[in-house]
Amino acid sequence: GENVEQHPSTLSVQEGDSAVIKCTYSDSASNYFPWYKQELGKGPQLIIDIRSNVGEKKDQRIAVTLNKTAKHFSLHITETQPEDSAVYFCAAKVPLGRGQNFVFGPGTRLSVLP
């Protein structure tokens, strides 16, 4: 089945700097890649996503890139703010009939230092 790896596990940046989190996946049939932000005591919230037919997507300070050949995708956060501090999860969606629907990475704890 699908396996999603995520790096780094922890990341500390100064306020205003950029943060990059990288994920790799194993199943070439995966066709949709969302990123979730989870704050303490809350459920994961979708922040951005990308489909397999798109190479890059941007939403204000957040962007995601996808390299289907290499099977990796990355989250980029620019001009980081203290409220960006949270745990971020990447995920890969395997089409129905191929086992798990969404497989999540282990998470990255981002700390933005003021």
Partner 1 sequence: EAGVAQSPRYKIIEKRQSVAFWCNPISGHATLYWYQQILGQGPKLLIQFQNNGVVDDSQLPKDRFSAERLKGVDSTLKIQPAKLEDSAVYLCASSLFNSQGASGNTIYFGEGSWLTVV
Strands 108-113 and 10-14: parallel
DSSP secondary structure letter of residue 70: T
CB atoms within 10 A of CB 51: 11
Q: Measured between alpha carbons, how far is 5 from 24 in angstroms, rounded to an integer?
A: 5
Smallest distance from partner 1 to CB 47, Å = 12
Pick between residue 72 and residue 102 the one whose CB is nearest to partner 1: 102
Pick between residue 29 and residue 78 the one whose CB is nearest to partner 1: 29
Pick between residue 78 and residue 104 the one whose CB is nearest to partner 1: 104
Pick between residue 51 and residue 58 the one whose CB is nearest to partner 1: 51
Smallest distance from partner 1 to CB 9, Å = 9
Cβ 4 vs Cβ 21: under 8 Å: no
Per CB under 8 A, residues contacting partner 1 are: 4, 6, 32, 34, 36, 41-46, 49, 51, 89, 91, 93, 95-96, 99-107
Smallest distance from partner 1 to CB 60, Å = 18
Smallest distance from partner 1 to CB 103, Å = 8
In angstroms, what is the C-alpha Rg of the chain? 14
Q: What are the distances in angstroms from CA 48 to CA 14, 59, 61, 67, 111?
A: 22, 7, 11, 16, 19
